[in-house]
Chains A and B, each alone.
Chain A
């Protein structure tokens, strides 16, 4: 099976049919939920304090629903209109934006207490968007620079993604660091081909706590 990000840009790949299929697939729901909970854990927010979060590539709101349940307020951005439509139908609480993250964010400095992103960054690495744009490194740079500015100091961004090679992990980490982020990569189940999950855990300032994620 080919990786979807190699087939077409996300806003094309996730048309109406694919968006509904993706959202209603119980296995995808379960994996997305697990990764969202793990991302929240790695975000390491102060317990029992309300927070305003950014969901990068919020899609149909699978992770947003969990943010709602956990009592967080959030805004979400996604490039696929069909996914956002499903999110509206599912009546998630967050504010939704049609946005190409490779074009960078316009959020004011210090807008968010944290950011999560589930299964999105590989799209920036692999496929062009249907809008004419520049190279993946340029888009990644724009993304990380404006994300860094949009977060409070201290704060974290936790981005789970599916790299195809260690080179890709290196490229992404390098560009994030150049944008001002500290932190690094956390790999869950590193020895399982199927369960292996890569999380980029990025810090603004000291990331909010001295402890290193387990």
Chain B
């Protein structure tokens, strides 16, 4: 199970890959939607941690156009419900995440990304 909430926190950790290593590009994604419990307090607290532009572009790559380009000034329930869906209910079951800098491919299989590095990539 990997969702956009963790994708938004994840940069490439290969050796020497320290710039332009976020966000990882999502490739060949197969998605599943699974309902999650709506927790507005959690979302409000989490918003400052989000790299918004990265979240919007990742969601659009997955075919979800619902997020606004900027975080609105007035955070209402409607906005939080939309954010909840994008962050916590869209699961990438198959596919890959690719580093935009070094090109390392992190394959996703049965919902689990393989983050293991090759020997020469370990810092």
Query: Which residues of A line the B interface, CB within 8 A?
Result: 49-50, 52, 71, 73, 75, 77, 79, 81, 84-85, 88, 93-100, 103-108, 110-111, 131-134, 142, 146
CB neighbours of A110 from chain B (8 A) = 49
CB neighbours of A50 from chain B (8 A) = 39, 41-42, 45
In contact, B110 and A106 (Cβ under 8 angstroms): no
In contact, B116 and A146 (Cβ under 8 angstroms): no
**How would residues 1 to 41 of chain B score, 1 for a CB under 8 Å from any chain A CB and 0 otherwise?**
11101100111110000000110000000000000100101
In contact, B115 and A142 (Cβ under 8 angstroms): no
Q: A103-B123, A104-B13 are in contact. List 11 more A-B contacts (CB 8 A).
A: A52-B46, A52-B49, A71-B39, A73-B39, A95-B1, A98-B115, A103-B13, A106-B13, A106-B115, A108-B10, A133-B119
* Top 4 closest pairs, chain A to chain B, by CB: A106-B13, A50-B42, A111-B9, A99-B115
In contact, A105 and B113 (Cβ under 8 angstroms): no
- For residue B71, CB closer than 8 A to chain A, the reply is no
Q: In the complex, how many angstroms separate the beta carbon of B107 from the nearest chain A beta carbon?
A: 9
In contact, B11 and A88 (Cβ under 8 angstroms): no
CB neighbours of A100 from chain B (8 A) = 115-117
In contact, B2 and A77 (Cβ under 8 angstroms): no
In Å, the complex CA distance between A104 and B10 comes to 12
Query: Which residues of B line the A interface, CB within 8 A?
Result: 1-3, 5-6, 9-13, 21-22, 36, 39, 41-42, 45-46, 49, 51, 88, 110-117, 119, 122-123
CB neighbours of A93 from chain B (8 A) = 36
In contact, A96 and B112 (Cβ under 8 angstroms): yes
Partner of B41, one of A49, A95, A106, A107: A49
In contact, B116 and A98 (Cβ under 8 angstroms): yes
Partner of A108, one of B5, B9, B39: B9
Known A-B contacts A75-B6, A106-B10, A146-B13; A97 and B41 likewise in contact (beta carbons under 8 Å): no
In contact, A108 and B51 (Cβ under 8 angstroms): yes
In Å, the complex CA distance between A75 and B46 comes to 14
Which residue in chain B gives the minimum CB-CB distance to A74?
Answer: B6
In contact, B112 and A97 (Cβ under 8 angstroms): yes
Q: In the complex, how many angstroms separate the beta carbon of A91 from the nearest chain B beta carbon?
A: 9
Which residue in chain A gives the minimum CB-CB distance to B117?
Answer: A103
In contact, A142 and B123 (Cβ under 8 angstroms): yes
CB neighbours of A134 from chain B (8 A) = 122
In Å, the complex CA distance between A131 and B51 comes to 33
Q: Which of A93, A97, A105, A131 has the most CB of B within 10 A?
A: A97
In contact, A133 and B13 (Cβ under 8 angstroms): no
